[in-house]
Amino acid sequence: MFRNCAIIGCGQTKHTSRRRDVSVAELAQQAVQAALDDAGITMKDVGCVVSGNMQGFGGVAQPEQWLGDWIGCPGKPAIRIATGGTTGGSVGQGACYTVASGMYDVSIGVAWEKHSDSKEAGATTGLMHVGMGNLFHALTYGLSLRNLIATSAVGAAAGVAVYQAMFYMHRSGCKQEHLDMVAAKARRNAAKNQYAHLQWPNCRPEDIAKTETIAWPFRYGHVCPASDGASCIVVAEEKTAKRLCKQPAWFLGLASYSDEENQLQSENFGGVGVIDPSEQMGCRVSAKKAYAMAGITDPQKEIDLAEIYQPFPSQELIFSERLGLFDDGTAWRHMEKGETDINGRLPISVSGGVNATNAIGSSALQRILEAALQIQGKAGEHQVPKKVRKAVAHGWGGVTNYITCTVLGDSPR
């Protein structure tokens, strides 16, 4: 049975493109110490450590074994979770499971990424490995190099998201200007978040529109950065949470869903049975399950804030619809009217989101963390003016086929 638990402390490091002042172990440790300080506890009080980062991106195959000492593992069970881009979301949910199951009273979930340790530009080392086996296999059967470069380098220069964005734009009527608006909002919001990476105070859509096109409809100004950073949450069971924290952020509903690869190739270069990668059935199913667990029947009315995993602006629009926050095909209209701004009716990604800060392993955990900060009223300059009772934090990963969906609230279930 699920026993009530909440986030009582949050810690982040400042994200930049080059945190060369620390080793990756020291980076993760900074986030953990910040979270412990925020919760008002010491490492002795922690029962279990759940950690994660993207497999292989930082050039260390089993980092949790190496940097375990820096994140408090000695003397405790240490669990590593790696689920692609949703790693952070799974780490957050994992930390929740260890407490909700009754096994531990206090757990920490820590996730990090140090892209600058990879020599490859744009931190593509890890991405390179992800496709390697499939790639060599196809090359063995005479795949044309020209086709390969054109489809993967051009299309995937902006990740798999560019095809997904095209499907959405065709279906909903969203235009490239709307992507400019979302990207500008992310950078404007990030300027109010002391830990974010791409901070552009008062960024306007026209500023984004001046940047070069990568592959239509994506511009350089739309793309997320490759950040070095870490984040950590402290999860405690009900009695401990009420004792230690004035306003804990309670876990109300969790769900996660994995599907077959949603586009390009599946294993052994086979095809995939999904025509439209913006369909995201997985997100619909996860949201439904998470809301049901949280007792939410009308997300459009009951959700006060959303932190959506949006390395690309099109994804903020796509996923806000799939999470049930807007009717199908209408997200861009609501965004245009300002409903998703910091002082809007349904603020989305007020921290700047992944579009402004992307240390991949930790990004999905930061969505949970930022939602928690808003509920606790501790977000500082980017705190929304309205009272946040229920918030949803989302993550996607893999070939747009993994989803995590977490609902947090200001009072226990």
Partner 1 sequence: MEKKSGVIVVNGLPIVQAQFNWSVGFQMQNFLKALANKKFLASKCPECAYVYAPPRNTCSKCYKKMEEKDLVELSGKGMLAGWTTAYVELDGKGNFVDLKKPKLIAAVKLEGANSTLFMPLEDIDSKKLKVGMAVAIEWSPETKGGWKDIKYLRAV
Partner 2 sequence: MAYLKDERPETMMVEGDWQVGAYRWKAPRLLEEFSAGLKEKKIIGSMCMGCGKVITQPRHLCGRCHRRMDERCVLSDWGTITCFVISPKVEKGKYKLFGMDPVDTGTLKLGEILIPVFVRFDGADSNINCLLLNAKPEEVFIGMRVKVVWAKEPKGQMADLEGVEPIREK
Q: Considering the complex, what minimum distance in angstroms separates the CB of residue 139 from partner 1?
A: 8
Query: Quick count: other Cβ atoms within 10 Å of Cβ 60?
Result: 16
Find the largest Cα–Cα distance for the chain. 65
Determine which residue in the list 22, 43, 209, 293 makes contact with partner 2, applying CB under 8 A.
Answer: 22
Pairing mode, if any, of strands 106-114 and 48-52? parallel
66 binds partner 2 (CB under 8 A): no
274 binds partner 1 (CB under 8 A): no
Which of partner 1, partner 2, none binds 167 (CB below 5-8 Å, type-dependent)? partner 2
Which of partner 2, partner 1, none binds 118 (CB below 5-8 Å, type-dependent)? partner 1
69 binds partner 1 (CB under 8 A): yes
Stretch that binds partner 2, among 156-164, 242-250, 315-323, 328-336 (CB under 8 A): 156-164
Query: Quick count: other Cβ atoms within 10 Å of Cβ 177?
Result: 14
Closer residue to partner 1, CB minimum distance, 139 or 154 = 139
276 binds partner 1 (CB under 8 A): no
Half-sphere exposure of 228 (CA within 13 A, CB side): 20
215 binds partner 2 (CB under 8 A): yes
Which residues are CB-neighbours of 268 under 8 A, at least 6 positions away? 134, 137
Question: Rounded CA gap, 323 and 330, in Å?
Answer: 13
Distance from the Cα of residue 310 to its chain's centroid: 7
265 binds partner 2 (CB under 8 A): yes
165 binds partner 1 (CB under 8 A): no
At position 280, the amino acid (one-letter code) is: Q
345 binds partner 2 (CB under 8 A): no
272 binds partner 2 (CB under 8 A): yes
Question: Rounded CA gap, 60 and 30, in Å?
Answer: 19
55 binds partner 1 (CB under 8 A): no
187 binds partner 1 (CB under 8 A): no
Phi, psi of 116 (to 5 degrees): -70, -15
Determine which residue in the list 2, 17, 117, 413 makes contact with partner 1, applying CB under 8 A.
Answer: 117
3-state class (DSSP) for residue 121: helix
147 binds partner 1 (CB under 8 A): no
Which of partner 2, partner 1, none binds 199 (CB below 5-8 Å, type-dependent)? partner 2
Q: Specify the residue for token string 């921290």.
A: 351
Query: What residues from 24 to 53 belong to the interface with partner 2 (CB under 8 A)?
Result: none
Question: Rounded CA gap, 262 and 258, in Å?
Answer: 10
Going along 272-313, which residue ranges are E strands? 305-307
**Three-class SS of 61-93:** CCHHHHHHHHHCCCCCCEEECCCHHHHHHHHHH
Determine which residue in the list 4, 33, 278, 401 makes contact with partner 1, applying CB under 8 A.
Answer: 33
160 binds partner 2 (CB under 8 A): no
Question: Rounded CA gap, 31 and 72, in Å?
Answer: 12
137 binds partner 1 (CB under 8 A): yes
Q: Enter the DSSP assignment of 166.
A: H
Determine which residue in the list 3, 37, 40, 59 makes contact with partner 1, applying CB under 8 A.
Answer: 59
Question: Rounded CA gap, 387 and 375, in Å?
Answer: 8
Question: Rounded CA gap, 26 and 36, in Å?
Answer: 15
Q: Binding residues for partner 1, per CB under 8 A?
A: 19-26, 29, 33, 42-43, 56, 58-60, 69-70, 72, 74, 114, 116-120, 125, 128-129, 132-133, 136-137, 139-140
Interaction site with partner 2 (CB under 8 A): 14, 16, 18-23, 56, 59, 128-129, 132-133, 136-138, 140-151, 153-155, 157, 162-163, 166-167, 170, 187, 191, 198-203, 207, 212-216, 259-261, 263-276
